[in-house]
Structure 1
Amino acid sequence: MFGECHAHLIMDGLNYKDAISIHKDHVNDEVIRKHLKAYEELGIVFVRDGGDALGVSERARKLAPEYGIDYRTPIFAIHKNGHYGSIVGKGFDTMKEYHVLLKEAKNKGADFIKIMTTGLLDFNNHGQITGTPLDRKEVCEMVHIAHEEGMAVMSHTNGIYGVQAAVEAGVDSVEHGNYIDPETIRELADSDSVWVPTLVTIRNLRGCGRYKESVLDPIIELAAKNLRLAYKYRAKVALGSDAGAYMVLHGKGLMDEYQAFMDILGESGDVRAWLADGEKRIQDTFRRPES
């Protein structure tokens, strides 16, 4: 069974605000155990979380061994104030403040660092990303500092500029990577960065009534085209569903993501080996540095 390379145990796939409120006063072990059980029942033994600001993923890592799960977390994600990211972490204004947050995460036992370099898909404007992406020089400095601290970097990034900046900075994984082009995929393939495209964050929205099919279909079609190119160019790619996002349930989200890959690429031993290699790179890279 493949592992889940992008999840958020603080979310439940149903209602973000309700899920967050459960942990507002104190982390709720019962809910965490429910989600971990969902992975255990499906034979998923590796989960890489994207972090949160309330300590849920930190607690989940402590409980996960009871369910036979190797659980990795950045503790919280780090974003620049005024840019997307407060939903899952803490913000900074200066690079000095960034370094302080990085040290805080590391001191709490983070397995890696997660940074937020762009916003989300703008569903009202196809091809556009919400907000302003971080400048490539700033991203490069953030990655450099993390690597100097011995920490791998998971980067929430969308769009051509954002992904190219992240790859050129040397991030260890690119999360989502929507709205990119063949040149960007070539750059990914030529790099050591692993791409985790989280296809079902959009595909699972079909039929839910939140967005029209005419809005979703072009996004889904472009993502499929880009995945085929990534496979053709032999970019490093791993399965991650963004479990906890709306309509992406823990455990089942990974099954949905796997099926999406098979629908697009066709099920074969070569495709499975390709994905296994990407996951191994994630497992080998995104681990707590030796003290």
Structure 2
Amino acid sequence: MFGECHAHIIMDAVNYKHAVNRHQTGVDESVIHAHFSAYQKLGIGFVRDGGDSLGVSRRAREIAPSYGIDYRTPIFAIHKNGHYGGIVGKGFDTLPEYAALVREVKVQGGDFIKIMTTGIMDFDTDGHITGNALPYALVKEMVHIAHEEGFSVMAHTNGAGPVYDALLAGVDSVEHGNYMDDECIRAFSQSKAVWVPTVTVVPNLIGCGRFSDTVLESIWRRAGETIRKAWKAGVTMALGSDAGAYLVPHGQGLLDEWERFKSILSGERDLEQRLELGERKIKEKF
């Protein structure tokens, strides 16, 4: 069975605010046990988390071995104050403050650094990303500082320009990476970075009534086209479902992600082998 290369153990796939509130006065370990049980029952033995600011993923890493799970976490993600990312980590205003957060991750035993360089898809539109992207010069320095401290870098990034900048800056994986264009795909294919598209989030939303199905279906079609182009270009990919996000349950989310890839890339005989290669690269880097 594939591993889950992008999860959020703090989230419950139902209500983010409620999920976070369960840990406000201390980590609720029953949540962690429930999610790990779901992974264990499906034979999923690798989980790479996106971190949080309440110590949930840190405690989860201590619990994971009892479930036979190889669990990796950045402890918390790092974002620039005033930009997207507060829901999963800690913010900075200056580069010295960012460097201090990187050192804090090291002190807490984090496995890698996760940076937030853009917002998320705006599900009310097709093609827009919330908020403003971080400038290339800042992203480059953030990656440099993390690498100097011996960490690989996971980048939450959306949009063609920001993904291109992240790749040029030397990130080791791009998470989500929605709305890439041909130039960005070429740059990706020439890099050593791994792309974790978390593609199942959008089709799982179709029919839920929260957003326009017309918009969601358009985003889903576009995502499929991008993945097919990237696959043909030789971009290294790995399966990660964004487990814990709305309507993406832990464990089942990865099965959904695998089904989405099979539907998008039907007929590709080396599909499983190439995705396994992407996962091995994730394990080696992170």
Fold agreement, TM-score > 0.5: yes
Distance in 1 between the 2:123 and 2:202 partners? 10
Gaps of 5+ in 2: none
SS in 2 for 1:254: helix
**266-275 or 89-98: which moved more?**
266-275
| Residue equivalent to 2:88 | 88
Distance in 1 between the 2:235 and 2:162 partners? 17
| Residue equivalent to 1:46 | 46
Alignment of 1:81-160 (within 5 A): 81-160=81-160
SS in 1 for 2:189: helix
SS in 2 for 1:236: coil
**Deviation at residue 5 of structure 1 after TM alignment:** 0.2
Give the TM-score normalised by the residue count of structure 1. 0.97
Distance in 1 between the 2:38 and 2:199 partners? 20
Distance in 1 between the 2:109 and 2:115 partners? 16
2:111 maps to a residue whose letter is: D
**Deviation at residue 267 of structure 1 after TM alignment:** 5.9
SS in 2 for 1:266: coil
| Residue equivalent to 1:200 | 200
Deviations 1:239-280, CA, capped at 9 Å, x for gaps? 000000000000000000000000110165400011001000
| Residue equivalent to 2:31 | 31
**151-160 or 183-192: which moved more?**
183-192
**Contact 2:74–2:114 at 8 Å: present in 1 too?**
yes
Distance in 2 between the 1:82 and 1:158 partners? 17
Distance in 2 between the 1:274 and 1:258 partners? 13
2:283 maps to a residue whose letter is: Q
**Deviation at residue 186 of structure 1 after TM alignment:** 1.2
Distance in 2 between the 1:268 and 1:2 partners? 17
| Residue equivalent to 2:186 | 186
SS in 2 for 1:26: coil
Distance in 2 between the 1:185 and 1:85 partners? 25
Distance in 2 between the 1:55 and 1:269 partners? 42
Deviations 1:128-157, CA, capped at 9 Å, x for gaps? 111110000100000000001100000000
Is 2:274 the partner of 1:274? yes
Distance in 2 between the 1:278 and 1:115 partners? 20
Is 2:231 the partner of 1:231? yes
Give the TM-score normalised by the residue count of structure 2. 0.99
1:5 maps to a residue whose letter is: C
Distance in 1 between the 2:125 and 2:209 partners? 18
Gaps of 5+ in 1: 287-291
SS in 2 for 1:175: strand
Distance in 2 between the 1:11 and 1:241 partners? 13
Distance in 1 between the 2:106 and 2:201 partners? 29
2:80 maps to a residue whose letter is: K
**Deviation at residue 127 of structure 1 after TM alignment:** 1.1
Distance in 2 between the 1:50 and 1:80 partners? 16
Distance in 2 between the 1:166 and 1:93 partners? 19
Distance in 1 between the 2:124 and 2:263 partners? 27
SS in 1 for 2:183: helix
* Identity across matched positions, percent: 59
2:82 maps to a residue whose letter is: G
1:280 maps to a residue whose letter is: R
